[in-house]
Amino acid sequence: MKPKIIKTKAEYEAATAEIERLWGAEANTSDGDMLELLMLIVEDYETRNSVAIDADPVSLLKAHMEATGRTQSDLAELIGSASRASEILNRKRSLTKEHIFKINTKWKMPANLLIAPYELEVA
């Protein structure tokens, strides 16, 4: 698939299908670069067309981390606490405004994807 600005629902569906095919591609490879580019193009289309994303913030954060080659340790460094990063990724603690701000500004993940309420695991 040759990447281009998505203008139609059919182009959107083709791009998301290609993302699924490329999912898990190693970062800094041609497939990994294509995956990252397609994700940006799809994000642009979704922003322009208000396509609802049916996933909670933790799932989206994990997908973003995987797609960009980041680890739980990277999240811990970003938010300043290894235990908080673990609690967030294991749904024991919610993302705070400060966490969302850091993830948005440093990792360029759209804040609107991180602000939705989600269920925490019962201890």
From first to last of the 123 residues of the chain, give the pLDDT tens digit: 788 999 998 998 999 999 999 988 898 999 999 999 999 999 898 888 864 566 899 999 999 999 899 999 999 999 999 999 999 999 999 999 999 999 999 998 988 889 988 999 886
Q: From CA 11, how far away is CA 8, in angstroms rounded?
A: 5
Q: Where exactly are the structural domains of the chain?
A: 9-49, 57-113
Encoded amino acid at 113, one letter: L
Cβ atoms of 39 and 19 closer than 8 Å? yes
Q: From CA 83, how far away is CA 102, in angstroms rounded?
A: 17
Provide the 8-state DSSP code for 112.
G
Q: From CA 6, how far away is CA 64, in angstroms rounded?
A: 20
Instruction: Determine which helix (DSSP H) or strand (DSSP E) holds 65, and give its type and residue range.
Output: helix 57-67
Return the CATH fold of 57-113. 434 Repressor (Amino-terminal Domain) (1.10.260)
State the pTM of this model.
0.58
What's the farthest any 2 CA atoms get from each other in the chain? 47
